[in-house]
Amino acid sequence: MHTERRVALITGSAQGLGKMTALHLAAQGIDIVVNYVRSGQEAGELCSRIERLGVRSLAIQGDVASRDDMERLVQAVSERFGGIDILINNAGPFVRERRLFGEYAPEEIDYLMRSNLLGVMQLDHLVLPYMRRRQWGRIVHFGFGHASEARGWPHRAVYAAAKVGLVSFTKTLAVEEAPNGITVNMVCPGDIRGSYKEATIEQAAGMTDTEAPRGRPGTGEDIARVIAFLCEDKSDFLTGNIVDVSGGLDPIRAIVARTTKDPERTAE
């Protein structure tokens, strides 16, 4: 039985869904590494809040698209905590403006692919040795609703391609690392926007979302609860899964008939 506290690294966790996940895991006695790119003040405030829950916390700046940043980050965590048990790959830029693939600049394509696919794979690769050494680990990737079906997503070509590629990688890594006690799963949030990313289920209970089949807005707590469950010791038989947490919303619906001037309804 593992007696030491686990250490969780959550990318892009100074705000939003990553922040809610950090607080949820910290409340369960897990030490938290907060990663951010530009939100240094928010990261510091979150660390203070986490430490008041009785666990250790550390904030480290770094862009998941930069391998150098991630190598520096993992080294810093290793020196401070001795390793990483849980990796939540929350960071991944999403362009809300709807554009055809031909309208993207080459550097935008490169950055979106690196941030949402290649950078995630490289960070997993950096963290795996620590998990293998302890014969225990939890890796969670982020996708979008129905990503496992690999459907086309007009006006989201680059983001969708990266995440669908991540689906295949998630399933492959899950099989390869299962003998080492490491699980790998993907969580696919629904359309959770604005302040709801840091809201609780109770706060959203009386609200109405007419486009969501469930009828209420999704919240950060909805996502954090699923991730926390996947990270439990007894969740070791759950691996290679793509879990939609969307209230039944399908983000890719009748989109071909729309124009670029139509209102937004997409998964974050």
31 located within any domain: yes
DSSP, collapsed to helix, strand or coil, labels residue 7 as strand
CA nearest 14: which of 54, 58, 51, 77?
A: 58
Q: Summarize the confidence of residues 152-174 as an average pLDDT.
A: 96
pLDDT value for 63 = 97
Q: pLDDT: is 88 or 258 the higher one?
A: 88
Q: Is residue 172 a part of any domain in this protein?
A: yes
pLDDT the model gives residue 264: 44
Q: What total number of domains does the chain contain? A: 1
**Which domain CATH number covers 73?**
3.40.50.720
Q: Is residue 146 part of a domain?
A: yes
Assess if residue 263 is contained within a domain. no
> Which of 4-8, 67-71, 94-98, 127-131 has the lowest average pLDDT?
94-98
For position 230, what pLDDT does the model report?
98
Q: Specify if 22 maps to a domain.
A: yes
| Better pLDDT: 3 or 231 | 231
Specify if 264 maps to a domain: no
Residue found under tokens 């770094």: 62
Q: Is the pLDDT of residue 195 over 90?
A: yes
Mean pLDDT of 238-250: 94
**For residue 66, is pLDDT > 90?**
yes
Q: State the DSSP code for 102.
A: G
Confidence band for 211, pLDDT divided at 50, 70 and 90: confident
In a domain, 266, yes or no: no
Measuring CA to CA, how many Å separate 134 from each of 2, 125, 131, 137? 10, 15, 5, 8
Q: Which range marks the domain in which residue 224 is found?
A: 7-257
